[in-house]
Amino acid sequence: MSKQTSTNRITTAVIRDMKKKNEKICMLTAYDFPTALIVDEAGIDVVLVGDSLGMVMLGYDSTVPVTMDEMIHHTKAVSRAVKHAMVVGDMPFMSYQVSPDDALYNAGRFLKEAGAQGVKLEGGREVAGITRRMASAGIPVVAHLGLTPQSVHQFGGYKVQGKEEQAAKRIMEDAKILEEAGAFSIVLECVPAALAKAVTQSLTIPTIGIGAGVDCDGQVLVLHDMVGMFDKFIPKFVKAYAHLNVQMKDAVSQYIEEVRTGVFPEKKHSF
């Protein structure tokens, strides 16, 4: 409690303490005001405004086209809703690769304009320099290793990473480098469970897994996947806790039927 802010906000210190105390960290995505209210009120620790919003909310084929302005727009809406969780904005493709100055400026926008408390960026040792620069400028950084979706064209698809010995060694080294550079936690996406366990045990900062087994310090999922609202592509690592897609379609069909047949509106809905 003492490490939370006066507004009872989850901070990087709280997140780091959770690893020490062996308490699982719960992260979910949210991209808009109403869903951010729901996940915050339910007690989530970290709300990630992921660039997955490009696919889930905007209908892009990948996260590659997502822009800084789109991310800022959605992060602002989420920040207006969230009172307790830490809000992390996801740096979109090419917002941090072009130059270190651009990277710092764009990361700063998430905090200054959009009300986030941290940023996430994909990549290993190649982003260690900018991670260090952001962290020393006071910007909390979540790193992201394994399947980094912005590199889908380089990977040739959404495939499990770190299966071969060399690739696993590189992920392990990258995690250490990013910890040393000042990242306060690391998302591990689609890597073998044994590798995620080894990385988790080798770090003092927490790992947050997605398709990375049970031994990470926390878990993250895309909200729309776990409530069954987005069924275009359901990865193996997703558990659907609800089927809102079906419920919403049923509700819409019933509405159409009732309007067409004059059942809705009733007297009680009129003035």
- Indicate the burial class of 241 (C-beta count within 10 angstroms; 0-12, 13-18, 19 or more): exposed
Q: Residue 101 or residue 134: which is nearer to ligand KIV going by CB?
A: 134
| Active-site hit among 126, 164, 189, 257 | 189
Q: Residue 126 or residue 258: which is nearer to ligand KIV going by CB?
A: 126
Q: Residue 27 or residue 249: which is nearer to ligand KIV going by CB?
A: 27
Interaction with ligand KIV in 142-201: which residues (CB under 6 A)?
187, 189
DSSP code for 38: H
- Kindly state the smallest distance separating residue 252's Cβ from ligand KIV, in Å: 26
CB atoms within 10 A of CB 171: 22
From the list 72, 78, 80, the residue with the least C-alpha distance to 105 is 72
The whole-angstrom separation of Cα 105 and Cα 194 is 37
- Kindly state the smallest distance separating residue 15's Cβ from ligand KIV, in Å: 15
232 by DSSP, 3-state: which?
coil
The stretch near ligand KIV (CB under 6 A) out of 47-55, 96-104, 175-183, 191-199 is 47-55
126 is catalytic: no
From the list 7, 89, 3, 81, the residue with the least C-alpha distance to 40 is 81
- Kindly state the smallest distance separating residue 138's Cβ from ligand KIV, in Å: 23
The stretch near ligand KIV (CB under 6 A) out of 7-15, 43-51, 123-131, 247-255 is 43-51
When asked if residue 134 is in the footprint of ligand KIV (CB under 6 A), the reply is no
From the list 176, 188, 180, the residue with the least C-alpha distance to 135 is 180
CB atoms within 10 A of CB 127: 25
The stretch near ligand KIV (CB under 6 A) out of 9-17, 46-54, 126-134, 250-258 is 46-54
- Indicate the burial class of 257 (C-beta count within 10 angstroms; 0-12, 13-18, 19 or more): exposed
Q: Residue 64 or residue 198: which is nearer to ligand KIV going by CB?
A: 64
Count of residues that bind ligand KIV according to CB under 6 A: 11
- Kindly state the smallest distance separating residue 90's Cβ from ligand KIV, in Å: 5
When asked if residue 227 is in the footprint of ligand KIV (CB under 6 A), the reply is no
87 by DSSP, 3-state: which?
strand
Residue from 44, 45, 46, 50 binding ligand KIV (CB under 6 A):
50
Q: Residue 10 or residue 221: which is nearer to ligand KIV going by CB?
A: 221
Taking only Cα atoms into account, the Rg of the chain, rounded to an integer number of angstroms, comes to 20
- Kindly state the smallest distance separating residue 263's Cβ from ligand KIV, in Å: 40
Helices 193-202 and 165-181, axial angle in degrees (round to 10): 30
The whole-angstrom separation of Cα 243 and Cα 142 is 30
Q: Residue 81 or residue 210: which is nearer to ligand KIV going by CB?
A: 210
- Helix ranges (H only) for 113-157 are 128-136, 152-155
Binding site for ligand KIV (CB under 6 A): 29, 48, 50-52, 90, 187, 189, 210, 220, 222
Instruction: Give catalytic residue positions.
Output: 189
